[in-house]
């Protein structure tokens, strides 16, 4: 099992970025609290309610402790539906990054699956926890330097680009890639 922060070789992030961008624009009134976890342990509600309602997606819940995630996530994302889908994974600390302040009970979102240049399958994991990795912490510090934040602070374009959408062949700092084997 492996989590990496940079896009795998050969993976085109553009379709994932376009999907995330469309979801963010759909809500119209997206707040930082809807998409970023920085002050409270509210990952369950973000995964199952905030984003479901704001992005208009169906959410499938999976528990990491119940066995391999990859095939279950792929099946849930590929299931026919009139709405786009995401998978919320109760990770119990597994997906928590080395610097995360949320080490136990934690939910992350799988938003896509892909294959790298060697044909290995991975999941695209959106972990709203800004403290999870040095990359996400640094990006968050850059986005919020000198700003006073509240739970109703609007999610501005620059913050969404840095933390979620990214640029070139990288997605934002909150996106990681999970290899099961």
Q: Helix, strand, coil % (nearest 5) of the chain?
A: 35, 25, 45
The CA distance from 94 to 157, in Å, is: 30
Mean pLDDT of successive 10-residue stretches along the chain, which has 181 residues: 84 95 88 83 81 89 79 88 87 66 77 92 91 90 89 89 94 92 71
In the prediction, which pLDDT does 93 show? Answer: 60
Q: Which two tokens stand for residue 64?
A: 């990491």
In the prediction, which pLDDT does 72 show? Answer: 86
Q: Residue 151 belongs to what domain range?
A: 2-179
In the prediction, which pLDDT does 94 show? Answer: 63
Q: The whole model's pTM is what?
A: 0.89
Strand 121-126 vs strand 175-179: parallel, antiparallel, or unpaired? antiparallel
Tell me if 7 sits within 8 A of 177, measured CB to CB. yes
The CA distance from 115 to 155, in Å, is: 31
In the prediction, which pLDDT does 45 show? Answer: 84
In the prediction, which pLDDT does 82 show? Answer: 85
Q: What DSSP state is assigned to residue 49?
A: I
In the prediction, which pLDDT does 61 show? Answer: 87
- Number of domains making up the chain: 1
């Amino acid at each position: 099992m492996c989590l990496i922060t940079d896009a795998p070789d050969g993976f085109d992030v553009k379709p994932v970025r376009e999907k995330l961008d469309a979801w963010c624009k759909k809500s119209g009134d997206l707040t930082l609290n809807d998409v970023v976890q920085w002050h409270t342990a509210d990952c369950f509600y973000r995964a199952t309610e905030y984003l479901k309602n704001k992005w208009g997606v169906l959410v499938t819940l999976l528990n990491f402790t119940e066995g391999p995630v990859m095939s279950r996530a792929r099946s849930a994302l590929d299931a026919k539906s009139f709405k786009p889908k995401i998978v919320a994974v109760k990770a119990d600390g597994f997906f928590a990054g080395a610097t995360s302040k949320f080490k136990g009970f934690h939910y992350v979102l799988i938003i896509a699956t892909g294959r790298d240049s060697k044909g290995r399958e991975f999941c695209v994991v959106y972990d709203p926890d800004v403290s999870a990795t040095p990359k996400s912490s640094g990006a968050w510090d850059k986005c919020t330097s000198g700003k006073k934040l509240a739970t109703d602070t609007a999610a501005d374009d620059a913050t969404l680009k840095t933390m979620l959408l990214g640029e070139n062949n990288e997605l934002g700092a909150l996106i990681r890639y999970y290899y099961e084997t």
